[in-house]
Chain A
Amino acid sequence: MAFWVPFWGAVLVLGLLVFAVVTVVVGIGGFFDVRSLFDSIDRQHRIEDEQK
């Protein structure tokens, strides 16, 4: 138990810290990706329409 208590404590704290950073980065980047997703699907549809 002497090994496991500090080990799991460190894993938990590190995991939460890294996750907090990922949340901020992915949250901001994801917002721009949503806009890009709609643009991309619109573009695909326009190309399909032109090919018809």
Chain B
Amino acid sequence: MSSDLLTGISSNFGSVDWAIVALYMLGAVAIGLYANRYIRSMSDYIVAGRSLKPYLAVATMIGSELGLVTVMYSAQKGFTGGFAAFHIGLIAGIVTLIIGLTGFIVVPLRELGVMTIPEFYERRFSRGVRIFGGLLLALSGILNMGLFLKAGAIFVAGLTGITNPTSVALIMTVMLLLVLCYTILGGMVSVVITDYVQFIVLSVGVILTCGIAVDRLGWSAIVDTVAAIHGEPGFNPLHAGGGFGPSYVVWMIFTAGIVSCAVWQTAVMRACAAENASVVKKLYAWSSIGFLVRFMVPQFLGICALVFLYQDETTRGVFFSPGGGPTGNSDLTLLAMPVFLSQILPAGLIGLIGAGLLAAFMSTHDSYLLCWSSVLTHDVVAPATGDTLSTRARLTMSRIFIFVIGAFLLVWGLWYELGQDLWDYMLVSGAIYFTGAFALLLTGIYWKRASTAGAYLALVAGAAAVAGLTPVKRALGLDAFTGAHVGLGATVLALVLMVLGSLLFPDRARREEEA
């Protein structure tokens, strides 16, 4: 495993840094305990009583989305793709700004007063669509976060230089338990407060780290080394010879752009928690810069890692193939950025950045755990049992789901072999839900004739995106297609079936209206 290869590579991470990290983590748990006194209802627990004002909404949105996993997969994209990877952040920023200015999808959702997207499915289509859509959403979301722990473990190993896999696993388990503790206790209230603190620490940390990296390596050396390793594809995202190309860029417009801010449940939850529609628009307009930076800055650190590790003979032998290009081992390309940070940041600062990123790791976990457990309780179990569950039973069930999902994450993170860039894994696993969900949201909000039958067909078609996962692709003999091809195909299929299903099988109320 990658940790064996770390032997001989030192780290600046020392006892002062461990103390900073420990204090930070204990502080997060204290916030959870404090926030617990504000939790009385499901609305307090899931959307913080719908009381988020603009600045806190922006901080929590960026804080949640700028997680350790985002930093890890974006840095990996920068390492493997060079400057061309910046197109992902640029697209994300521009599309989020457009959504903030127009209110596309998110404002109608907030005005409906729903807490989750499947709740919208029931209002617009039927209870069955809500249960089926909720189940798909939760399964896809849980699968999507399945490798978060693994990414976190690689980060800890790379940053601290700990080479013993058991020690890394122990650290990750303790961290997961801390997250479970404060999420179970404090719900959305503790999530927004920890997200706010993490936003401040991490924002200052990443800006500072970029400055140190450029100062250490030099801008010209960075550009020249990327040109030497990647050539033209390292700068031009439309160049088909690299890891991207036109179809990948289109896939990014859909996924990193529209989906990540207007369809993905964790982002939509922020819109649903906002005080009103005007706050939603401000939230998205302000967050657009966060959506740009959350991809671009870690990608830049990945590029700096590429340059730094290429310059050293020892690390070049580990992180690069004999031909001079980055290694094809995805665990190693994930490891590059934390190893780079462990080498260039001084003691104390590395602890602060490490604490910020580990807090980011916890922050993403808490948001996602809360999100998927809420969906399972609120959109699958509750409607399936005829809405007879009391508030107390729902809160208890959400907390049980959080615990069960946590246990799954431990097992899946150890078992699943990545075989592709983490970002691409996350897109494909997320696509199981969002390709169908996009069709339902788009037509459900903006097309009166969208019907329940069409909704079912679109959800089933969207789930076909699972074929984009590397092991599934291999099993089906689809190696010639990329995840982008499969995802775009599933998106188009879901939209076509939504329209055809709605035209061929309209809802009874509409049929009667037309008759």
A and B are interacting partners: yes
Please list the residues of chain A having a beta carbon within 8 angstroms of any beta carbon in chain B.
1, 4-5, 8-9, 11-12, 15-16, 18-20, 22-23, 25-30, 32-34, 36-38, 40-42, 44-45, 48
Q: Assess the B300–A12 pair: CB atoms within 8 A.
A: yes
**Pick the contact of A33 from B55, B203, B297 — CB < 8 Å?**
B55
Please, what's the 1-or-0 string for B186-200, where 1 marks a CB less than 8 Å from any CB in chain A?
A: 000100110010011
A sample of 7 more A-B contacts (CB under 8 A), given A15-B93, A30-B196, is: A11-B86, A12-B300, A22-B289, A33-B57, A34-B192, A36-B51, A41-B38
Determine how close the nearest CB of chain B comes to the CB of A46; give it in whole angstroms: 11
Asked if A15 meets B196 with Cβ closer than 8 Å, knowing A1-B235, A30-B55, the reply is no
Q: Assess the B293–A19 pair: CB atoms within 8 A.
A: yes
Please indicate the chain B residues that have their CB under 8 angstroms from the CB of A38 in the complex. Answer: 38
A39 to B75, CA, bound (A): 40
Q: Assess the B286–A22 pair: CB atoms within 8 A.
A: yes
Please indicate the chain A residues that have their CB under 8 angstroms from the CB of B58 in the complex. Answer: 22, 26, 30
A18 to B289, CA, bound (A): 7
A9 to B48, CA, bound (A): 40
**Pick the contact of A27 from B38, B59, B84 — CB < 8 Å?**
B59
Please indicate the chain A residues that have their CB under 8 angstroms from the CB of B418 in the complex. Answer: none
Please indicate the chain A residues that have their CB under 8 angstroms from the CB of B430 in the complex. Answer: none
Please indicate the chain A residues that have their CB under 8 angstroms from the CB of B232 in the complex. Answer: 1
B216 at the interface (CB under 8 A from A): no
Which of A32, A36, A37 has the most chain B CB atoms closer than 10 A to its own CB? A37
| SS of A interface (majority) | helix
Determine how close the nearest CB of chain A comes to the CB of B392; give it in whole angstroms: 15
Which of B56, B207, B219, B290 has the most chain A CB atoms closer than 10 A to its own CB? B56
Q: Assess the A37–B296 pair: CB atoms within 8 A.
A: no
Which of A22, A27, A42 has the most chain B CB atoms closer than 10 A to its own CB? A22
Q: Assess the B52–A37 pair: CB atoms within 8 A.
A: yes
Please indicate the chain B residues that have their CB under 8 angstroms from the CB of A28 in the complex. Answer: 55
Q: Assess the A8–B235 pair: CB atoms within 8 A.
A: yes
Q: Assess the B53–A33 pair: CB atoms within 8 A.
A: yes
B336 at the interface (CB under 8 A from A): no
Please indicate the chain B residues that have their CB under 8 angstroms from the CB of A44 in the complex. Answer: 49, 51
**Pick the contact of A16 from B38, B83, B93, B293 — CB < 8 Å?**
B293
Q: Assess the B51–A41 pair: CB atoms within 8 A.
A: yes
A29 to B59, CA, bound (A): 9
Q: Assess the A40–B49 pair: CB atoms within 8 A.
A: yes
Number of interface residues of B (CB under 8 A): 45
B510 at the interface (CB under 8 A from A): no
**Pick the contact of B204 from A11, A12, A23 — CB < 8 Å?**
A23
Q: Assess the B219–A9 pair: CB atoms within 8 A.
A: yes
B90 at the interface (CB under 8 A from A): yes
A22 to B206, CA, bound (A): 14
Q: Specify the chain B residue showing the minimal Cβ separation from A23.
A: B203
A39 to B85, CA, bound (A): 43
B122 at the interface (CB under 8 A from A): no
Please indicate the chain A residues that have their CB under 8 angstroms from the CB of B189 in the complex. Answer: 37, 41
B292 at the interface (CB under 8 A from A): yes
Which of A22, A25, A28, A30 has the most chain B CB atoms closer than 10 A to its own CB? A30
A27 to B49, CA, bound (A): 22
Q: Assess the B55–A16 pair: CB atoms within 8 A.
A: no
Please indicate the chain B residues that have their CB under 8 angstroms from the CB of A18 in the complex. Answer: 289
A-B contact pairs, 30 of them (CB 8 A): A1-B227, A5-B83, A5-B223, A11-B86, A15-B292, A15-B296, A15-B297, A18-B289, A19-B207, A20-B207, A22-B286, A26-B59, A27-B59, A30-B56, A33-B53, A33-B59, A34-B193, A36-B51, A37-B52, A37-B53, A37-B189, A38-B38, A40-B51, A41-B38, A41-B44, A41-B49, A42-B38, A44-B49, A44-B51, A45-B40
Q: Specify the chain B residue showing the minimal Cβ separation from A22.
A: B289
Which of A5, A8, A29, A37 has the most chain B CB atoms closer than 10 A to its own CB? A8
A42 to B296, CA, bound (A): 39
Q: Assess the B199–A26 pair: CB atoms within 8 A.
A: yes
A19 to B203, CA, bound (A): 8
Please indicate the chain B residues that have their CB under 8 angstroms from the CB of A20 in the complex. Answer: 203, 207
Q: Assess the A26–B55 pair: CB atoms within 8 A.
A: yes
Q: Assess the B236–A1 pair: CB atoms within 8 A.
A: yes
Q: Specify the chain A residue showing the minimal Cβ separation from B237.
A: A4
A26 to B236, CA, bound (A): 34
A18 to B57, CA, bound (A): 18
A40 to B437, CA, bound (A): 33
A33 to B53, CA, bound (A): 6
Determine how close the nearest CB of chain B comes to the CB of A16; give it in whole angstroms: 6
